[in-house]
Every structure is written in structure tokens, then in C-alpha cells.
Amino acid sequence: EEEEAPEGRAVGKERRVGTRQKGTGGLAERVEGGRAEFGRRGERMDLLADDNVAGQNLLSIVSRGSAIIAEMLRLSDNIPPEFSLPDANNTSASPTKGAAASKYSAVIFDFSYLRNPELHESRIGGDIDLSDLDEELRESLLPMIERFYSLFESVFKYISDLNRFLQDVDDGVYIQLRLEDLLVSSSGKQLLSESLHLYGVMLTVMDSRIDGPIRERLLIAHYRYKGSSETHSNVCRLCRSTGYHPLVARRPPSYPEDYFARLPPPQRVVMMVVNRLRSDDIYNQMKEWPDPTHRCTALQTQAAMVYVMLYFVPQVLHKEHSIMREIVDRHLSDCWVLPFYMGFIVDLSVMWEPYRAAMAALGNTVDSRRVRDVNARHVAAMGERINQLRTLLTEGTLTEDYVLDNWGALLNVLREANAELRWVMLHRKCQQKRLREAAWAGLKEEGVLTVLVQTAQLEFLVGRELKALIGGKEGRWQALRADCAERMGELASFFSGSKELTRVKRDERLEQWFKQLQGVIEGLEHGDSTLAGRKIQQLMSAIKDVGQFHQIEGNASVRLFLEDAHGQLRQMLRLVNIKEDLLIALATVSDFSFAFALIRDYMPHMHHLIKSDPFAVLLLRATFLKLATVLDLPLVRINQAGSEDLASVAQYYSSQLVDFLRAVLEVVPVNMFRVLNDIIQVHTGSLKELPPRLERQGMKDYAQLEQRYLLARATQQVSVLTEGILAMEATLLGIVEADPKRLLQDGIRKELCRQISHALHTMIEFREEGRKGELELRLEGLQAHLDGFRRSFEYISDYVNMYGLKVWQEEFARIVNFSVEQECNAYLKKKVYPWQSRFQSRAIPIPVYPPLDNNAATFVGRLVREILALTDANACTYLDASSGWHDSSGKEVLGIRTTSLLHKSIGTAGVRGLDNTLSFMIVSQLHSFVSHHRKEVASLKEAFEELTHDLGASSTLAANASKVYSTAVSRTAKLWPSVLQVAGRIGQAQLLRRQFASELNFTCRLDSPHLSGALEVVSDSLTNDVSCHYQHPDKKPYPSEESGLLRDIAPYLDTMGLTSPILKIYITTEPLPYVAVAIFLLVVTTLAKYKFEPKLQVFVPKDKRDCCDSTPFIVGVITLLKQFHSSDTHRFIELLCQYVRCQIVMQGKDKKGSSKELPPEASSVLIFLGEFCKFSNLDRKTVQAHLPPYVLDKFPL
């Protein structure tokens, strides 16, 4: 149930399979296999037998058809938004989908691509950005593209296999089987009709649910990424755009007959099947609907088949007036709105408008006077039906005896009610206003829903009684038979005259007669109901006659015995007539598959019913069970064929039913949260929080009786709202069991998720990026809102039997993680779409809002960018001593206070989400640095080689060092602006991550000291184990990965902030040539633009127009080096130390003597090295090993 969407198995496969017995009910019983005459010799064969090759092949084709349609419906709900390019007809596309589509519009093509594919491919190949975009689309959507192509190909293979089967029948491949034989066989005509009908339904559903332009784009994408195949051209011919759009009233000319003619079945076969359908009742429905006024209801399944098949032979619609008149008079005499498959509905007065013969035949049906007459009949019947149903549903009426005695009357009531519901609900969807108003004059949706609910309840109660009777029939029959026979034996003994204390003269004839009667009763068997019923009636008549004898009439005891025996025989007669056929008849009459989509129109009235009476859900439960009959239609043939698609198809339709059930019952949590708003106002507005200690004089001030009364009243309303669902029993909808308690909890979670998401989306919105004070203002408002919400939710959780704080934390974390995942799509080639997210749920969906700007997809992105804007290295300075960023006036812009406020407002999950987003940004910047380095170093390889050669070993001094360094700096100067920007961004993100980790760690130590201490010990022990392994790999093994301890402990350490973001390795890459030299030159070039400020203990730019804050740059350099081998870091330090020594030596040469002060360049590098060691936790001895003692004496690190 949770994770249906769009994952699932592929559609039906070609294979022969065994036959299963009856389906689960409803249509399964109606299409039960029959026998047919085959061949001229009259040999009888079962078409559905395991050894009947023809029957099994046709059954397999039909079962595949149902599976294909289920897969089509499943995929149509998950069309990738990238392929929904703007269309003049498509006015319902969401902004999110439109943005995604426009991004990839340059690499997505329709069939116009096939005119000149080389031109399009050369254009993409010649543009690096387009190539990257094309590769990104391929990585993200290739599995879905392949699945859509598999669907389209399955439709083509279906009609190809069906045509091949029909050709084989004509060619005599199946011995003694002709097409005429199939149409004589009960199972044959059903399967053949269904095979053609399902193909037409596939085409119709494909064109209405998957737009033609989208199909073309998906097919071209598959062609570009996977190449051509044997069936590709035929699939493209079948699936190319028709120009039809469901939102446009006007259809293209000759639609859909031209569409159906692309790959049609043989017209001769279609006409033979249509002729059979127009004159025959292939499902024997008239037996269950004997009333002439119900003929259209009984034949509605056939009418749907005829409607679809006529598009394969459009000449009948245009010219064959007599055939169309016969079809309409037989199937459509009083209805013109037709369900043709699983809730898909067609208004024939509109669809048949272009066809002269069809409209002429339908004219009498849609005549205004005729429509008004039919409406008047149904309006009068609906009022009568409500009274009948209310009487029958009165408690105590539907007893076992009542059902046995009045089964025929009950079935008639259900027939009438279902026929009226079908006509009324279908014709409410009439597209022509004139006809719709005439059909619904005097009717209201509330009244229709009342009839529906009461009819479903009556069906449920009658069905339950029948199942109980059938289940206990054997035992009760035997008990009644034994008891009745025993009474006959006792009467025989009574008239023998030998029984004590009876004083009855022996009557040998009565004694023998009762003994004979006893033997007859003991020989009764219920297997042959007709024979047993006739014998029982004879026995009842005989007992009644014998009661008139004077020997018996004057004896009260004997009369009582005979009356009891007569009653037992009468009960046996009732039981013998209770058979499975009654349940089949009930399932047939109560079929509700036509309303699979219509029922959603009545959802607002269901909500109103539940709001007015929470216990109304108990009545609606029967309605949900009635709706579950829709599963019979697609599953019956799949079940008979033993197909592996059974579970997948059943899961899809069952999940649709459960979704509807959730949508109906969600009115309870929605109203509960409306009441919760009142509780929030009391909690946050007027109710004072009780202090730990309270003096007696102040008790009156804290009593607040009026506020506490309002709180108690709101709490009582919440409790009453949930009582109805909690009293509801578990309901099996298809193969999914709907637990009411779970549904209530899921509904509460869904509404909670919606409320939190809405608050985060609306309250974290910034008018101007980087505006001082706005961040804290927004966070304070969000904190107050969510804190009051959380407290009130925890307060009512006890009254709805759930763990409020746990649910709050789980849903809040899920929302944040989902938002982070969607935000980080900007940094990934392979996107994670909302329906693919492991944090998204079908039952408890997280709302997806359109972006408020072009820079962020969710509130997480807006918050991260606001923080980055506030801490911009060009506008403020980071001071490690205060752990904060300060502007030019010295005022703190973001520091410990802001971080604490951030933590209080969005919680630990929110801070972790920001941290993860920054991690993805760092990875993106690191990849940018790597690609930039590889590209630029290749062009300046000679300069790096010369510098390396001129510097020589790090322990020596370079000859003519001043010239060497200045030359290298000047030749590589163009590289550093972009690298400096990358390093600054990385450092800024790392400092923010460090700030967040510090806040999380501090809070964890205060709130959970034991957990914090335990995690620190585990972390230290694991670190020691890893360290010992690398020191002594032969003696100390690496911590076992099979135990999963390292993997499991990492999230806990991250959540409590027990990590060092600066020391993490974010990417793995091949060694970069001259990376240490390049970063060394970057540092030397950049430090020349800074001066050290002793008061602030930080580098400040000499000219703010040239460079920015130094600390992010230093941390960025550390992060860059950390991604490569440690030897590169050591080489980098060696180069800096060599540079310091060279500067000192050059100063001595220039001044021809010693100087008390170190050169500015050397001092800057030494200060940089000190900061480098501090932020990277590097042992200072590593630097000291490369510097002479007098330098360290002069400038100790």
C-alpha cells in the first residue's frame, strides 16, 4: 500500500498458463466457463480446460489486456514532468511541472526529430551545457522511459498476438475449431468479446491519460538512449499523437475511428462479435434482472463492449440504420451515459454526434419527453426506496428467519435500488446541460447518497446472513434431520403400546407408518436440492394429513410432536434452497464497478455526513465494501489464467480503494485540527503555565476557569470526532486490509504534515536576501507558532490514543529530510523526484509547493541562501573568538544567539537538514575545483614544471627565489580569481557547518548528558580501533563492517554534533597534478592582499574591493587539501616553509645585515600556517620541522 507508485512489475507476459477456478465474486461468477460444441462430429470440449491450447492462448491474451490497462493507469499517474512541455491545450499543468519541462526542452523532442536526427544530435554534442543536461535527463529518467516504452510495446504486442490467434483459427491451426465455434461457446464468445473490448479500451485510456505529444517525446527519448528495435516503428505508428486532448471539447476530425484503424483487428471478426452481442446475452444477466425495465441495466456490460467495438467498424455508425436501431433498442432504450471500463464514462449523445445512423437510432432515447418520463419514474421510485430500506434496516428486522422467508422480496428491493442508483449516478455526468437538467430534475445528491449508503448496508447484512447460513448449512441440516427422525421414532414407539405410563392402545398401522417416515427422513440428502425439496414437501403434507386422525387429534402430546416435526421439515426445506447461487445473484445485482470514478463526486456529502454524526462511518463501511466489487472486472481473467500479474493488478486497484477510503475519513483529522486551533489559542494566548511551586494566594490567578472550560470543551469535541472511526471494524478492500485505527493515525499524520509544511513554506520567506534582522524575526515567529502547535498536539494525543511527541518528531524530520532531498537535486545529475523519495508516502503525502523564487526549491533552500547571504565574505568578517560573523561596524550578524534561535525554531532535524544541504553545496564546489584544475593546469603545465624544477628540494633554498616566485605568480595569476571564489564558498559553508555542530553538541550535552557521554565513548573507542589497525594492520583488525556498527553510529554522531566538518573527505578523485603547488601559489598570491589585525586576531583585506574575509579562505584551503592524499598537504606546508626561509634570506641580502623583524610576506605565511594548524587540528610540529629555530624564536607558532 505505502509504496505502490509507480514502481511495480511489468505488464502481462506471453505464455500459456493453467486455469483456476472461480474468482472472488461478482463478475467472476458471471463469466464462469461454459461448454461448447466443436467440430462436425459434435465432440464436447471445455474451452478453459488446461489441455485446450486455443482456450488457454485466448485466455492468456485477455488476462494480459487487463494487466496492461492497470499498468497504463499506474504510469499515467506518474508521468515525468520533464516531458510535459507547455501546450496550448494543457492549461492544467502545475508551475512545478512547467519549470521542470522548460529546463529540459532543448533535449526533449517529438517525432519531428526523425526528420533530421543528425542535426539535433550535432547541436547537443557541440554544446557542453546541452550535453550535460542530456546526460542528466538520461541518468534520472531512463528507467521510467524504458517502462513507458515497455507499456506502449505491450499494447502493440497485444493486438499482434490477438490478430495472430484469429488468423490461426481461420487457418485451422487449432484442429476442429472455427471462429463460429468460438461464438457458439459460452466461454468463447465471452473471451473473444473481451479481447476486442480490452484493445479498444487500451487505445482510449492511452490517448486520454497519456497525451499524444508526451507519448511522442517518451518514444523519441527511448530511441535516442536505447536505440531502435524490431517493433519500434510499429509502436511509433500506433502511439503517435492523435491531436485529441481531454480538456478540449472539440474532437479532431474522424476521431477516434482513424486512431482505431492504425492497427485494427479483422473487421469480419468484429462484425461477427457485434452481431452476437446485439442479439445474445453472453453473461446470462437477464436471469438476475428479470424485470423488463431492467434490461438496459442487465446488458450494460455488453453495451460497453459494443460501443468500443463499433469504432473498429465505423461504417455501422455512419450508415447501418437498422443495426444501430437494434443495438439502441435492446441495450440503450432508456440510458445514453455508459460506463465502458473501470469508471471511464462516455456520453453517447456527444460521442455519437458525428455519426448519422447512430444519432438517428439514439434520438428516441435522448428525446426530452422520454427523458422526463424516465426521470419521473426514478424520482418516485427513489422516495419509495428510502422508506423501504429504512424499514428493512430497522434493528431486529433482518433476522435469519426473515431472510429465509423473504429472500425473493429482499432481492427485488436490491435490484430496484441498484438499477435506480446506476441510472441516476451515470446520467448526472451527462455533458449536455439540457439533458442533464431533465435527468436530474427533482433529485439531490444527498438523497442519492442516502439510498446508496442504505442499499450497501442492506446488501452487507443480507450477504452476512446468507454466508452464515451457507457456512452452517451442513451441520444444521444433519441436526434437523436427526431430530426430526428421532421424533418419528418416538411416535412409532408411542403407538406400539409398549411404552410405560402412556395408556395408549397399540395401533400397528400408525406404528409402521411412523417408522417408515423415520426411514424416509433419515435418507434425505441436501445434495440434490430439487429431489430433497420434493420429498420434504410430501413429508410435510403427510404429517399434516395424519394430524387429522382421531387417534392423534385428541392427543395434545402427539399433536405437539407432529407440529415440531413439521416445523423442522419446513426449516430443512428453507435450508435446502440456500445455495451459492444466491450469493452469486446478490453479487451480480450489487455490482458497483460503474461508479469507480463517480463515487468521488459524493465525497463532500460523505464528509458532511461524518461531521454531523461521527458514527456514520459504520454505515459507510458497507459502502466501501460495495465499492470493492470493482476488483472483479480486471482480476477475473487474470485469476483464471493463473497469471503472475494478479498480485500487481490487485495491489494497484486495492490501493486506489484505500486511497478513497482515506480521502473520505480524512474529514475527521481535518476537523480535529480545526478544533486544535482553538486549543492552540488557549494554550498560547490566555492560559498561564503553572509554575513548579505556587503560593496559596496566587491559586485564583492561575485557576482561569473560563479558559479551562473552553479547553475542556474543545478536547471533548476532538474525542467525539474520533469515536466513530475507532469503533469501526477492520475492512478488507481487495487484498489490502484497512485498519481504522491505522487510518485515523495516518489521517492525523497527514493533516499534521500539511500544517507543518504550510507553516514552514509561508513563514520562511524573505523579502530581500541578506536583510539584517529579518532572519531572526522570521525564526522567532516560526518558533512561537510551531511551539504552540506542538504543545497543543501533545495535549490532545492522549484523547486520540497516540504518541503525540513521537508523531510530531517523526513527521517534522520527514518533512525536513524530504525538503533537503529535493533541494539537493540542484547538485545532482540523477534527480530524486518526489514520487521516488524514500521520505514521501502515498498514505501520508508531504505537500509539494511551487518554488517562490528561482534560487530555491523549498524552505530549506531559502533558509540556507539567507544564511549564506548574511555571512557573505564580502560583507562581514568571521571572528573565531566570538564564533560569529560581524559587519564593518562590529555588530554581530550571525552567531551563537542566532544559531540557538535557529535550533529552537526548526529543531534538531531542521539544523541537520541545513547541514546536509551545505554538504551538497561543498561537494558541488569541490567538483567545480577539480574540473577547473584539470582544465587549466593542462594549459599551464610548463609553468608548474619550471616552478617545481627551480624550487628544487624543500629543504634547500631556490636560486634567485624572488624571480622564481614572481614569475610563477604572474604566469598563473589568471587562475586564482575563480579558485579563490570557490575556496571562499567552501570555507563559508564549512564554518557554518562547524557552527551548527557546536550548537547541536552543546544542546545534546545539556538535554541528554548520558546519551552524549555514551556516544562519545563509543566514538573514541572506534577511532582508537581504526588507528590501531593502521599502526599494526597484522595484529589489529579493522572494525567489522558486517556488524554495521560504524554505519549505524554515524547518524547519531552527526545528530549530536560530534563531528568535525572541516576534516571530512567529501569526494574521491584521481590525483591532481601539481595540486599542492597550485594551492601554494593561490595562498601566496592571496596573502599579499591581506594584512593582519592584532586586535581582532584575523587577516583583514588591505582593499575590500580586491578580496574578502580571510577565515573562510583558510578553511576552504584546508578542505581542498583534505580531499587528496596527505602527502599533498605535507608538500603544501613544505612549500610555504621554504617560501618563508627564502623571504628571510632575501631580506638579509637586501639590507646587508640582520633585521629584528621578519619580512611581511614571511609573517603573513607564518600567521596563515598557525591558523591552518588550528582549524585543521594539525600538529604544529609538522610545521616546526621545516623552519629553523631562530624563526620560531622570533615568531612562535
Nearest to 280 by CA among 307, 308, 299: 299
Instruction: Say whether pLDDT at 669 is over 90.
Output: no
Q: Which of 309-323, 382-396, 1155-1169 has the highest mean pLDDT?
A: 309-323
Integer Cα distance of 154 and 74 in angstroms: 15
CB 655 within 8 Å of CB 11: no
Integer Cα distance of 1094 and 1104 in angstroms: 18
Integer Cα distance of 911 and 1057 in angstroms: 10
Structure confidence at residue 553 (pLDDT): 66
Q: Which of 66-70, 546-550, 934-938, 947-951 has the highest mean pLDDT?
A: 66-70
Nearest to 28 by CA among 646, 621, 652, 465: 646
Between helix 368-392 and helix 445-471 the angle, nearest 10°, is 50
CB atoms within 10 A of CB 878: 26
Average pLDDT of the residues in 648-666: 89
Integer Cα distance of 948 and 956 in angstroms: 13
Query: One-letter amino acid identity for 467?
Result: K
Cα 567 to Cα 48, 314, 352, 519, 700: the distances in Å are: 44, 63, 60, 18, 75
For the record, the C-alpha cell of 243 comes out as 491531436
Integer Cα distance of 1197 and 1193 in angstroms: 9
First to last CA, the chain: 63
Integer Cα distance of 343 and 332 in angstroms: 18
Least confident range of 114-118, 535-539, 597-601, 869-873? 535-539
Would you mind telling me the total number of residues written for the chain in this entry?
1197
Cα 955 to Cα 528, 958, 1160: the distances in Å are: 110, 10, 22
Bigger pLDDT: 646 or 956?
A: 646
User: DSSP for 165-202?
Assistant: HHHHHHHT-STT--HHHHHHSHHHHHHHHHHHHHHHHH
**pLDDT for 1039-1073, tens place per residue?**
776 677 878 888 888 888 888 899 899 998 888 88
For the record, the C-alpha cell of 1070 comes out as 584521481
For the record, the C-alpha cell of 588 comes out as 451480480
Residues 6+ apart with CB under 8 A from 110: 213, 216, 217, 220, 241
Q: Backbone phi, then psi, for 878, in 5-degree steps?
A: -90, 130
Instruction: Say whether pLDDT at 261 is over 80.
Output: yes
Bigger pLDDT: 197 or 696?
A: 197
Q: Backbone phi, then psi, for 195, in 5-degree steps?
A: -65, -45
- What is residue 959's DSSP assignment? T
For the record, the C-alpha cell of 908 comes out as 534538531
Q: Backbone phi, then psi, for 43, in 5-degree steps?
A: -70, 130
Bigger pLDDT: 43 or 392?
A: 392
Least confident range of 296-300, 503-507, 637-641, 673-677? 503-507
For the record, the C-alpha cell of 1123 comes out as 580531499
Integer Cα distance of 725 and 802 in angstroms: 14
Q: Which residues of 664-697 are buried (b: 16+ CB within 10 A; e: fewer)?
A: bbbbbbbbbbebbebbbbbbeeebeeeeeeeeee
Instruction: Say whether pLDDT at 311 is over 80.
Output: yes
CB 899 within 8 Å of CB 892: no
Structure confidence at residue 817 (pLDDT): 94
Bigger pLDDT: 414 or 1192?
A: 414
CB atoms within 10 A of CB 663: 14
Average pLDDT of the residues in 754-762: 93
Q: Backbone phi, then psi, for 108, in 5-degree steps?
A: -115, 130
Between helix 705-726 and helix 740-763 the angle, nearest 10°, is 130
Structure confidence at residue 1105 (pLDDT): 67
Confidence at 201, pLDDT banded by 50, 70, 90 = very high
Return mean pLDDT, the chain. Answer: 85
Q: Backbone phi, then psi, for 737, in 5-degree steps?
A: -90, 125
Sign of the C-alpha dihedral, residues 1112, 1115, 1117, 1119? negative
Q: Which helix (H) or strand (E) holds 640?
A: helix 632-641
Q: Backbone phi, then psi, for 23, in 5-degree steps?
A: -80, -155
Q: Which residue has the cell 469501526?
A: 728
Average pLDDT of the residues in 427-449: 92
What percent of the chain has a predicted confidence (pLDDT) above 90?
40
Cα 195 to Cα 199, 538, 1086: the distances in Å are: 6, 50, 76
Residue 885 pairs with which residues in a beta bridge?
878, 894
Cα 294 to Cα 277, 290, 415, 422, 563: the distances in Å are: 17, 7, 9, 11, 42
Residue 731 pairs with which residues in a beta bridge?
738
Q: Backbone phi, then psi, for 1182, in 5-degree steps?
A: -65, -40
Instruction: Say whether pLDDT at 778 is over 70.
Output: yes
CB 308 within 8 Å of CB 228: no
For the record, the C-alpha cell of 949 comes out as 624544477
Structure confidence at residue 389 (pLDDT): 92
**pLDDT for 794-841, tens place per residue?**
888 877 778 888 999 999 999 999 999 999 988 888 888 888 889 999
For the record, the C-alpha cell of 398 comes out as 433482518
- What is residue 697's DSSP assignment? G
Q: Which helix (H) or strand (E) holds 37?
A: strand 35-38
Q: How many helices (H) and strands (E) does the chain have?
A: 51, 11
Structure confidence at residue 504 (pLDDT): 62
Instruction: Say whether pLDDT at 763 is over 80.
Output: yes
Nearest to 617 by CA among 447, 842, 608: 608
Integer Cα distance of 1054 and 1007 in angstroms: 16
Residue 346 CA, chain-centre distance (Å), reads 28
Integer Cα distance of 1154 and 1148 in angstroms: 6
pTM over 0.75: yes
Least confident range of 374-378, 735-739, 745-749? 735-739
Q: Which helix (H) or strand (E) holds 391?
A: helix 368-392
Residues 6+ apart with CB under 8 A from 1006: none
Structure confidence at residue 1138 (pLDDT): 86
Query: One-letter amino acid identity for 207?
Result: D
* Residue 50 three-state SS: coil
Structure confidence at residue 993 (pLDDT): 94
Structure confidence at residue 1156 (pLDDT): 64
Integer Cα distance of 423 and 296 in angstroms: 10
Three-state SS sequence of 1034-1086 = CCCCCCCCCCCHHHHHHHHHHHCCCCCHHHCCCCCCCCCCCHHHHHHHHHHHH
Instruction: Say whether pLDDT at 12 is over 70.
Output: no
Nearest to 1194 by CA among 1151, 1122, 1149, 1143: 1143
